[in-house]
């Protein structure tokens, strides 16, 4: 049976309010990386890698970290969107999600001069429907990924030989 850990704020007046398990946030192994380390190669008891640091050669780790910290405001908003969309108390409340998305854009807009058109929440192509919070967060992640590719060069990150073989195999290459 898994042990449930509870935060202090779950105790009110000495009585347990609600016994709900808390998700543990794993930091990325790269020192200073603002993204969660959600990719594990040897179990969740070790530090994981974020999507941008996974498989990157050691000499490129600081470059990737620098690109992510240069755009830490985007990383923060992506992480906030993830928290909002996975919070069981909020996920089923469209008005709250819309309010949090608007607040996120209000926080972000002054920090990204010159990129407002590219990064602002938009409508879905050829419709009047607004982009969802999750879709907007994915677009912010793609923007972050493009910044990482820029610092590593047009060929993308250099990967460890084992990781490169795994990617080649996944793409259909013979072992």
CA distance 62 to 7: 34
**Band of the pLDDT at 5, cuts 50, 70, 90?**
very low
Task: State pLDDT tens for residues 72-102.
Answer: 999 999 999 988 998 888 888 999 999 999 9
Per the CB < 8 A criterion, the answer to whether 52 and 150 are in contact is no
CA distance 85 to 93: 10
CA distance 84 to 36: 15
Task: State pLDDT tens for residues 110-167.
Answer: 998 888 888 988 877 667 788 889 999 999 999 998 998 888 874 544 545 545 555 5
Residue with the two structure tokens 């992510």: 68
CA distance 28 to 111: 24
How far from 36 is each of 25, 52, 67, 83, 139, CA to CA, in Å?
7, 10, 15, 12, 17
pLDDT score, position 10: 43
Report, in angstroms and rounded to the nearest whole number, the Rg of the chain calculated over CA atoms: 19
Task: State pLDDT tens for residues 10-24.
Answer: 434 444 444 444 555
Lookup: tokens for 9: 């704020």
Q: Which regions of the chain does DSSP assign to beta strands (E)?
A: 11-12, 15-16
How far from 149 is each of 119, 144, 164, CA to CA, in Å?
18, 9, 16
Per the CB < 8 A criterion, the answer to whether 98 and 167 are in contact is no
Task: State pLDDT tens for residues 151-170.
Answer: 887 454 454 554 555 555 55
| 3-class state of residue 11 by DSSP | strand
Nearest CA to 53 among 27, 77, 78?
27
């Amino acid at each position: 049976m898994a042990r449930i850990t509870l935060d202090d704020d779950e105790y009110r007046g000495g009585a347990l309010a609600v016994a709900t398990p808390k998700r543990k946030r794993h930091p990325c192994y790269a020192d200073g990386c603002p993204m969660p380390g959600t990719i594990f190669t040897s179990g969740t008891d070790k530090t994981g890698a974020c999507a941008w640091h996974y498989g990157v050669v050691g000499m490129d780790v600081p470059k990737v970290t620098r690109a992510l910290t240069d755009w830490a405001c985007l990383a923060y908003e992506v992480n906030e969107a993830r928290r909002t969309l996975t919070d069981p108390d909020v996920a089923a409340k469209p008005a709250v999600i819309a309010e949090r998305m608007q607040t996120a854009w209000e926080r972000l807009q002054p920090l990204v001069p010159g990129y407002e058109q590219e990064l602002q929440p938009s409508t879905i192509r050829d419709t009047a429907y607004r982009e969802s919070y999750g879709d907007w967060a994915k677009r912010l992640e793609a923007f972050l990924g493009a910044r990482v590719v820029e610092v590593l060069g047009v060929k993308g990150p250099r990967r460890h030989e084992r990781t490169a073989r795994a990617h080649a195999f996944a793409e259909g290459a013979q072992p």
